[in-house]
Amino acid sequence: MKFTVTLALLCIITVEPWRVNSEEQRLLVNMTLVAKARDTGALCLDGSLPAYHLDRGYGAGQNNWLLQFEGGGWCNDLPSCLERALTRRGSTRYMTKWEVFSGILSNNATLNPGCSAGGLATFHHCDNFTKYLPINASVKCLSDAGFFLDGRDISLNHTMRYFVKSLVTLQGIEQNLNRNCTSALSYPDLCFFPQYVLKYISTPYFILNSAYDVFQFHHILVPPSADPRGHWNHCKLNPAACTPDQIDTLQ
């Protein structure tokens, strides 16, 4: 029997949830804790059990899976990780027990605009995930708003590169980055960036990214450290307020 898997951005995997459709036809899916995760040490930042939301397919789609990595940024030092541990991004104690499956997770094929930056995770897990599946499984990956660039900011500094280096060091994830990529670069932590690892991914891969990515505009091109006098504040709040020179920089 052949089945298809699409790896998109997080959410996911095993056990039967309860599914409820509201009057607005919202798809509500119950959260399932991974009870045995403590045995392997695979826990959330605060030590709580990890969890997933699963809505099983049916009919012609019963053997097709869509796995989504949820977006939400990262923590790169102890203070930011401690802060994150007190939110749903770092603890299932704060997660929504019933999650609305919308966007790319909607059971309505006409409602599929995607969501946030969990698309970066697919660059790192696409090939590895494929190895866990039967050889006859058809796997394709999609990164939605996850192509974060290693580029200079307006002050010509590599602000995002320094952020990523601290993230990789703190979390000890260099060993989990693509080995073909890390062996080819003088600075292995750069393989966290999609632009360097993409050519080493063998699974069919699709990339969706806006031309003007708000996160990258605010945190990579014009981070606060590169604009201490706030010359870009109005432009950030409203692109229509950008000066001609700022528009040229954005383009």
Looking at the fold, whether 193 and 226 belong to one and the same domain comes out as no
Looking at the fold, whether 161 and 236 belong to one and the same domain comes out as no
Burial of 55 per CB tally in 10 Å (0-12, 13-18, 19+): buried
**Total structural domains within the chain:** 2
What whole-number distance in Å separates Cα of residue 147 and Cα of residue 9? 12
Looking at the fold, whether 220 and 204 belong to one and the same domain comes out as no
Looking at the fold, whether 138 and 187 belong to one and the same domain comes out as yes
Residues 24-68: tens digit of each pLDDT: 478 899 999 999 999 999 999 999 999 999 999 889 888 999 999
Looking at the fold, whether 149 and 35 belong to one and the same domain comes out as yes
Looking at the fold, whether 204 and 246 belong to one and the same domain comes out as no
pLDDT at residue 18 tops 90? no
Give the model's pLDDT for residue 73.
Answer: 87
Q: Of the ranges 14-18, 74-78, 137-141, 193-197, which one carries the lowest mean pLDDT score?
A: 14-18
Q: Of the ranges 31-35, 120-124, 242-246, which one carries the lowest mean pLDDT score?
A: 120-124
Both ends of the chain: CA-CA distance in Å?
A: 49
What whole-number distance in Å separates Cα of residue 183 and Cα of residue 209? 28
Angle at 188 between CA 186 and CA 193, to 5 degrees: 115
Mean pLDDT of 197-224: 93
Give the model's pLDDT for residue 116.
Answer: 58
Give the model's pLDDT for residue 13.
Answer: 33
pLDDT at residue 89 tops 90? yes
Burial of 209 per CB tally in 10 Å (0-12, 13-18, 19+): middle
pTM of the model: 0.84
pLDDT bracket for residue 15 (50, 70, 90): very low
Looking at the fold, whether 147 and 243 belong to one and the same domain comes out as no
pLDDT at residue 14 tops 60? no
Mean pLDDT of 154-165: 97
Looking at the fold, whether 37 and 142 belong to one and the same domain comes out as yes
What is the domain range of residue 62? 4-209
Mean pLDDT of 221-240: 96
Range of 12-26, 104-118, 134-148, 217-231 with top mean pLDDT: 217-231
Looking at the fold, whether 128 and 154 belong to one and the same domain comes out as yes
